[in-house]
Amino acid sequence: MAALLIDQEVGVAALDERAARRSLLLQVAGLERALSRNQSEAFPDQLQLTPLPSGAARLQDLERLELLRDALVGAVAESRAALIERQERRDSAQERLEELLLDPRSNRRVRITQRELGVGGCGVWSAVPRLGPMGRLMGWWRVKLSSGCPLAT
């Protein structure tokens, strides 16, 4: 009778562990997909995230799966925060560009790169005087998008 009770307990524990592993594997799969989406969204920038556990291909024990799941939760949150921060920087750059377009003379020292705006290419927005020194003397300014130099930096 005691042996039967012990066997049933061990059986229940094994079932519980299998269920726990299945649940963790599903969670890891979902988190990996979310992380992957965020990394794709970050292109062409690369997200600098806390390194995740890595090794050779092996069956993970329950503890490792939990650690991996927790690390992925952190990574997804980190990546989301990085994307939000990047969007805020882009919004700020867009506002500065609009101010530059409205009043080039007052913003003549402002330079905004295409990269800051989240647009492809290596151009730079800046204010330049019309007609060179004459424009500078007369206060005639315009906004120019330079082509940028692909060899710079």
Partner 1 sequence: MQRGWIAPRLAAEFPELQLATLRAQCISVDSELGVSERLALLASRFNGRQAIALREAPIASAYRTFFRQIGIDPEQQRPPAEQAAVERLLSGGNPPQGRVADALLLALLETSVPVYGFDAELVTEPLGIDLSPSGSLLLADSERPLWHLFAPAGSDFFAVPKSRQVLLAAVGAPGVPGLALDEALWLAQSALSGS
138, with CB counted inside 10 A (0-12, 13-18, 19+), is exposed
Nearest approach in angstroms of CB 5 to partner 1 is 26
Q: For partner 1, which stretch binds (CB under 8 A), given 37-45, 100-108, 126-134, 142-150?
A: 37-45
Q: For partner 1, which stretch binds (CB under 8 A), given 21-29, 88-96, 133-141, 143-151?
A: 21-29
Nearest approach in angstroms of CB 29 to partner 1 is 5
Tell me how far apart the 2 most distant CA atoms of the chain are, in Å: 105
Angstrom distance (rounded) from CA 35 to CA 59: 22
How far the first Cα of the chain sits from its last, in Å, is 78
Question: Does 21 help bind partner 1 (rule: CB under 8 A)?
Answer: yes
Nearer residue to partner 1 within complex by CB, 37 or 130: 37
